[in-house]
Amino acid sequence: MNTISRRQFVKGSSLLATALTLTACGGGAPAAEAPADDAAADASSYTLVNEGKLTCISNLYFPPFESMDEKTGEPVGFDIDMSKSLAEHLGLEINWLPSQAFDSLVPTIKAGGTADVAIAGMTITDARKAEVDMSDPYVDSNQSLVTKTGSEDTLETLNAAEKKIAVQAGTTGADWAAENLPEATIVPLDDIISAMNGVLTGSYDGLVTDLPVSAYQIKNSFTELQIIEEIPTGEQYGIAISKDNPGLTAAINEALAAMVDDGSMAQIQTTWFGSEL
Ligand code: ARG
């Protein structure tokens, strides 16, 4: 483990933010003094599993946030581009570990020693915040209920014991299904792509997953699936960080804010979603 001073970075980034504000205002009133670093940002240090690198874990079956490039096997997606920019803002290299089960990400971060962060389209929830720190939100999301094109099932008819609803284990979609389709047979799977294939082939009657993922997949590959309910859960994605590393959470929040200010977040959103989210 290495301890790196982040004081320089924090100071530098508030100066940069001030400069951007000035530019944006077209040189009107002088910018206010940069505020004193808050308590968290002033922690001035954080630890990293590997020196000079932000080591990341995810579940790489969640396009367009994260998936594996078919040819290279390398991770690709919104979260991957976002993490690259995040690492650049932190002055670090990025290091992605192999995909792992979604419900193992929070325990891995909590245990420490393997990865610094989990970046996985992960909704900020109270249950997760009890285990790990979650960064400030970087994407808004909702849930969706999906069936095969031509299916006449509705939210009501799917709520029956003979109906099988696929979900990704340990996700907020799984929680929503358990709560709102209490009569249905909920089938937790390792990944939502298997769920989509299973709905196509008739193994499952429907699935529940994050709306940006179902919408993207239906548009680009699973054209024989349809969204029958958009469910406004009002979720927000954040980055999971160990509670033992509050300086890293502070530095990541600074970097996320800088990415909004300097337009890199908007650019990455446009790349993957065609517009800012
Ligand atoms: N947003 C949902 C959750 O936090 C699903 C995330 C799934 N992410 C993934 N990389 N498979 O529970």
pLDDT tens string 198-216? 999 999 999 999 999 999 9
- What pLDDT was estimated at residue 20? 34
pLDDT at 44: 56
Rounded to the nearest angstrom, the distance between the alpha carbon of 65 and the centre of ligand 1 is: 9
pTM of this structure: 0.84
Stretches in the chain below the pLDDT threshold 70? 1-44
Best mutation site among 56, 119, 142, 210 for ligand 1 pocket (most ligand atoms within 8 Å of CB): 210
Domain 2-140+236-273 adopts which CATH fold? D-Maltodextrin-Binding Protein; domain 2 (3.40.190)
Indicate where the chain has its CATH 3.40.190.10 domain(s): 2-140+236-273, 141-235
Beta-carbon count within 10 A of 83 CB: 23
Fold of 141-235: D-Maltodextrin-Binding Protein; domain 2 (3.40.190)
So what's the pLDDT on residue 274?
86
For residue 119, how far is its CA from the centre of ligand 1 (angstroms)? Answer: 9
Dihedral in degrees, nearest 10, Cα atoms 193, 198, 199, 205: -130
pLDDT of residue 43: 37
